[in-house]
Amino acid sequence: MKFSFFSVSNFYLCFRNLKIKIMKNLILLLAFFAFNISFAQDDLEQRDDSFIVENNKNLLKIDIQEPFLQVALKDCKDFKTAHFEGGAASYKELLKKYMFTYLNSDYYTLTGEFTFTLTIDAAGKVTDVEGSPKVLNSEVFFDDMQYVVRRIKKNWSPATCNNQPVKTEMKLKMNFSSLSADL
């Protein structure tokens, strides 16, 4: 069998071109991996250890003080206070249960005494909740407390003046203490 120089040189050129294409693709692939790894290293170095924040846990202790305070209406000779079915102890336990359910203690670090004023209308519904004292970022907490109190579906028996239901305000004092722990 006789080979011509032309066919061997064509084969050689074809093989050489294929080899160059493979090398170019290999270099491109290696450059792509090196580029991605360099950015991965950068992201790793710049990250903060925020996973620690997610593992923090605030343990909230709530002490609702009795008796609940109500102010008698002026010019009322026969004032009877608003009351909750089962008494103040029943409302206290129900409120505590709802607070532990609906307040996100991971966002609150509460310490000290807060007073909440519940406005109870003539139908026995809680229509407004105001908290004090006003401290840094307390507005979010007070808004959440309004949500908690409104989640309680049982109505109060309204206060009466001369045997007529009237709007009244009730003050609840609560002591909060928070313990923050890393888990």
DSSP string, 53-111: HHTEEEEEEEEEEEEEEEPPPTT-SSEE--EETTHHHHHHHHHHHHHHHHS-TTT----
Instruction: Please report which confidence band the pLDDT of residue 49 belongs to, taking 50, 70 and 90 as the band edges.
Output: very low
User: What's the whole-number mean pLDDT along residues 32-59?
Assistant: 57
How do residues 107-157 score in pLDDT, each as one tens digit? Answer: 767 788 999 999 999 999 999 999 999 887 778 888 889 999 989 988 899
**Rounded (5°) CA angle 120-66-108:** 80
Handedness of CA 88, 89, 95, 99 (dihedral sign): positive
Report yes or no: 174 and 65 within 8 Å, Cβ to Cβ.
yes
Q: Which residue has the higher pLDDT, 9 or 27?
A: 27
| Residue 181 exposure: Cα atoms within 13 Å on the Cβ side | 4
When the pLDDT of each residue in the chain is averaged and rounded to a whole number, the result is: 80
Question: What is residue 182's predicted lDDT score, i.e. its pLDDT?
Answer: 61
DSSP single-letter state for residue 134: -
- List the one residue out of 112, 113, 106, 123 whose CA is nearest residue 180: 106
State yes or no: pLDDT of 77 exceeds 60.
yes
3-state SS assignment for residue 115: strand
Q: Is the pLDDT of residue 6 over 50?
A: yes
Bigger pLDDT: 183 vs 158: 158
pTM, 2 dp: 0.64
Are 121 and 157 in contact by the 8 Å Cβ rule? The answer is: no
Confidence check: pLDDT of 103 > 90? no
Indicate if the pLDDT at residue 174 is higher than 60. yes
Q: What is the mean pLDDT of residues 79-104?
A: 89
More confident residue, 35 or 168: 168
Q: According to the model, what pLDDT value does residue 53 have?
A: 42
The domain ranges of the chain are: 1-47, 56-182
> Are the C-beta atoms of residues 182 and 131 closer than 8 Å to each other?
no
Q: Could you tell me which residue, 51 or 172, shows the higher pLDDT? A: 172
pLDDT at 82: 92
User: pLDDT: is 6 or 59 the higher one?
Assistant: 59
**Contact yes or no for 107/98 (Cβ under 8 A):** no
